[in-house]
Amino acid sequence: MSEATPQDLAAATGIDQSAIAHGRSTRSVYVYEAPVRLWHWVNALAITVLAVTGYFIGAPLPTMPGEASAHFLMGYIRFAHFAAGYVLAVGLMGRIYWAFVGNHHARELFTLPLFTAAYWREVITMLKWYAFLIPQPSQYVGHNPMARLAMFCGFFLFSIFMVCTGFALYGEGLGAGSWADHLFGWVIPLFGQSQDVHTWHRLGMWGMVIFVTLHVYAAIREDIMGRQSIISTMVSGYRTFKQ
């Protein structure tokens, strides 16, 4: 009696054996721990609130009718902005802490192997992939080299800048001698005057908006065209590799 082929089994059972074989060959690696995933989504919400409220703080809504005492719209907008700023700053400190106690993937956001030739070769490879110059990229367990560079420069350094300039302006409202004035009061004279800090802080907001737009585009593109899962990884923590 001859041995049944995968095609015979598929015809008899209605199950695609090649699909089963493909599923068995799919590999998953646990990459992002729960605190990292929680921070990512809370941070995304905080940045969204900061960008929307920050826009209206810089370009307020038209004057509301009636007595000013009957309206507190801008007050609510400013409160949401300040609250989201606290969330961003505390979350960033917590994320830095987890870089020391978490797995090695938790440290990728804060370090760059700048003096490693292989790293820059992979950055060039990813640039070619994003420019549609090569058919497929390499597989990476954590952030790919290009994403790692973008996250460090476009998110981490930008976040430090926005926290420092934001709390410097916040310290003006709290008054001289406040904790924000003590910690960030040096920022305003460094830039020249308060209005200059406002201008740079708003430019930083647009820089962050551009980064987030590119980040979302790259994540969706990689999920569809790349060789490993992206979006679902930041939900489950597991990176799944495609064959």
Q: How far apart are CA 192 and CA 205, in angstroms?
A: 20
* Domain span including residue 196: 31-241
Does the pTM surpass 0.75? The reply is: yes
Q: Is residue 151 part of a domain?
A: yes
Using a pLDDT cut of 70, give the percent of the chain over it. Answer: 88
pLDDT at 14: 47
Q: Is residue 79 part of a domain?
A: yes
Q: Phi/psi at 28 (nearest 5 deg)?
A: -125, 140
Any residues with CB less than 8 A from the CB of 107 and at least 6 apart, and which?
99, 100
pLDDT at 12: 45
Q: Is residue 20 part of a domain?
A: no
pLDDT at 9: 39
Which residues, listed in sequence order, are joined to residue 239 by a DSSP beta bridge?
29
User: How crowded is residue 2: how many other Cβ atoms within 10 Å of its Cβ?
Assistant: 5
156-171, pLDDT tens digit by residue? 999 999 999 999 999 9
Q: Are 89 and 54 in contact (CB under 8 A)?
A: no
Q: What is the CATH number of the domain that holds 192?
A: 1.20.950.20
Nearest C-alpha neighbor of 85 from the set 168, 181, 197, 189: 168
pLDDT at 25: 52
pLDDT at 63: 73
Q: Is residue 14 part of a domain?
A: no
Q: Is residue 22 part of a domain?
A: no
Q: Is residue 23 part of a domain?
A: no
- Total tally of structural domains belonging to the chain: 1
- DSSP for residue 104: G
Q: How far apart are CA 211 and CA 69, in angstroms?
A: 39
Buried residues in 180-196 as b, exposed as e (16+ CB within 10 A): bbeebbebbeebeeeee
Q: Are 145 and 119 in contact (CB under 8 A)?
A: yes
Which residue stretches of the chain have pLDDT < 70?
1-26, 68-69, 243
Q: How far apart are CA 11 and CA 15, in angstroms?
A: 7
Q: Are 149 and 113 in contact (CB under 8 A)?
A: no
